[in-house]
Chain A
Amino acid sequence: MDNICVRVKDVTKQFGKHVVLKNINLDIMEGEIFGLLGPSGAGKTTLVKELSGLDIATSGENTVLGQKMPELKTINRIGYMAQSDALYKDLSANENLQFFSSLYGLKGKKQKERIQVVMELVDLTNHLNKLVSDYSGGMKRRLSLAIALLHEPELLILDEPTVGIDPVLRKRIWNAFYQLNKKGTTIIVTTHVMDEAEKCDRLGLMRDGSLIAVGTPDELKQSTNSSSIEEAFLVYGGEVNED
């Protein structure tokens, strides 16, 4: 549990003059569920995109699983689930899974086995051969998650995995996270839902491109004398409001 899985060092990201990430420093340990919490526009997605190799920092360094990102071999060890469901709607769930698993080099019996396992995990086994265009929003979300899990990644990066999903389904998805976590998968989740934040081992609070606090949910509440993460966030957030 003490090994560092992700190290973000002095990372700044600029799009033109617009600064999206301001000097971020963060360590995420192996085997933890780490939540990035903050309002939309805080820079969460930009940060996780850098960690998954899709983007690079303007300055500073991202190290993931001991490798400076972006690096193709490391990308192979990361599971990434984007904010939008990136699925081929004209293909069936099975065809989507086959396609993505081939990209990770899974084939034949192994491929079939993995598809079975991940679909069971997200509870979609009965809908394997349905066209994705016939899936509901929640089912698509779960299928996206299943695809991210196909190659048994050591690090799972999930960008708003439960946005627009009802509480029952959200609970089910979180159960899947816990199961994976128990097996040693490190999970990074971005969210702007406060009650979801409570479920993480540790949290990073983000606002306007800055990481304003890091700690376990309890630590964050205690050090601000708040009864909820929401209150704690407001206390931390207030300090940086002037810029």
Chain B
Amino acid sequence: MRIKALTKRILRQIVRDKRTLGMLIFAPIIVLTMLHLVFNGESYIPKVGLVDIPDSLSANMDFSDAEVTTYDNARDAEVDLATQKIDGYITIADGNPSIYLEGSDPTVNGETLRWIQSTFANLQESHQQKLDITYLHGSTDMGQFDFFGPVLLGFFVFFFVFIIAGVSFIRERTTGTLERLLSTPLRKWEIVTGYVLGFGIVTMIQSTIIAAYTIYVLDMMMEGSFFYLLVIILALSFTALTLGILISSFANNELQMIQFIPIIVVPQVFFSGLFNLETISDWLSWIGPVTPLYYAAEALRDVMVRGYGWNEIYMEIFVLLGFSILFMILNILALRKYRKI
């Protein structure tokens, strides 16, 4: 009854605050759309120069994925390379091919090298049998966005729930309403539960919309069931919510709450699988397993990319719920500052 009253009040406040409601839903949609466009854009076409390549060789080359210029001598190629008209050139000296790269952009370097290597490899292996490649998960169509997507989806839900729950709890403290609540027979765990339910309902709606948008509009890879996706996101948002409220106990105003973003939220992105975790230096690698996003990202990838079901994700869900319960208990303890019973 008292929890219901609190939940109802929180929902009323959120619905009334149209701007925050808009931010909860449209901000992640806009950012995910932009990322989709960035990652799934056209692939780079390298501009390559060929210096003194015998016609017998160049006739068999596949020029379709690159802009190729032929030069008679290396000096002309050198000049064009310096003015960035070409990204690199190949020359054959004493029977050995050498490659020169402009070199200032790693992405361009990579694409240029890849083209050159695959072109020369094709020349040599044209008579051999083609390799037959089978994917256990994913496919040739899988882009970077499909790989990053699940992590980003989790991150945005986490980020916005963390901020909004934290700030609204700070407001409750600074306006004196928290003290007022505690002068009623409301129990401390009832306050925390009311908050979790109120914001839980909002995040449920928010994440359904965002997930549906990324999957059905942005066409993100989705092999598993939408239901499991929602279960993971809900578990993650409980964690974000309880952590946000807990962290807000250490902030005196909204600005100080914002200051926790680079400390609490942003590092989680680095350790959640957006970047390969095995290459992280050893003295930092322990951070991943203590961040909630790490587990959510893993579970989301299991469902969205690998098409797994409950048996593969339940551990991650339990860890997330464990985090939430831990944060809730700490919240109740933190509230003792305001009332001892």
Contact = CB atoms under 8 A, between A and B. Distances in A.
Interface of A: 52-56, 70-73, 75-76, 78, 80, 82, 84-91, 95, 98-100, 102-105, 107
A75 B185 contact: yes
Interface in B164-184: 175-177, 179-184
Contacts of B2: 102-103, 105
Contacts of B6: 99, 103
B186 interface: yes
Nearest to B175: A86
B193 to A, nearest CB: 14
Contacts of B176: 82, 84-86
Contacts of B182: 54
A141 B330 CA distance: 34
A53 B211 CA distance: 46
B4 interface: yes
Contacts of A89: 175
A84 B175 contact: yes
B185 to A, nearest CB: 5
A82 B183 contact: yes
A90 B13 contact: yes
A56 B339 CA distance: 8
Given A75-B183, A100-B184, A104-B185, A54 B339 contact: yes
Interface centre among A53, A76, A87, A103 (most CB of B within 10 A): A103
B185 A107 contact: no
A76 B183 CA distance: 9
A80 B12 contact: no
B227 interface: no
A76 B176 CA distance: 19
B1 interface: yes
Contacts of B16: 90-91
B5 interface: yes
A54 B13 contact: no
5 contacts: A54-B339, A82-B179, A87-B177, A90-B17, A100-B184
A88 B13 contact: yes
Given A71-B341, A102-B4, A102-B5, A88 B177 contact: yes
Nearest to B16: A90
B333 to A, nearest CB: 16
A72 B341 CA distance: 8
A71 B179 CA distance: 16
A76 B186 CA distance: 9
A86 B4 contact: no
Interface in B320-341: 338-341
Interface in B127-178: 175-177
B9 interface: yes
Contacts of B341: 53, 70-72
Contacts of A103: 2, 5-6, 181, 184-186
B306 interface: no
B147 to A, nearest CB: 41
Contacts of A55: 339-340
A78 B183 CA distance: 8
Contacts of A86: 175-177, 179-180
Contacts of A95: 9, 12
A104 B6 CA distance: 12
Contact of B1 (A70, A73, A100, A107): A107
B9 A73 contact: no
Contact of A104 (B4, B184, B340): B184
Contact of A53 (B5, B17, B183, B187): B183
Contacts of B187: 72
B28 to A, nearest CB: 23
Nearest to B187: A72
A230 to B, nearest CB: 30
Given A72-B187, A82-B183, A102-B1, A91 B12 contact: yes
A78 B107 CA distance: 69
Contacts of A78: 183
Interface in B1-37: 1-2, 4-6, 8-9, 12-13, 16-17
B9 A99 contact: yes
B300 to A, nearest CB: 34
Contacts of A85: 176
A216 to B, nearest CB: 29
Contact of B339 (A53, A84, A87): A53
Nearest to A99: B9
Contacts of B181: 103
Contact of B338 (A54, A73, A107): A54
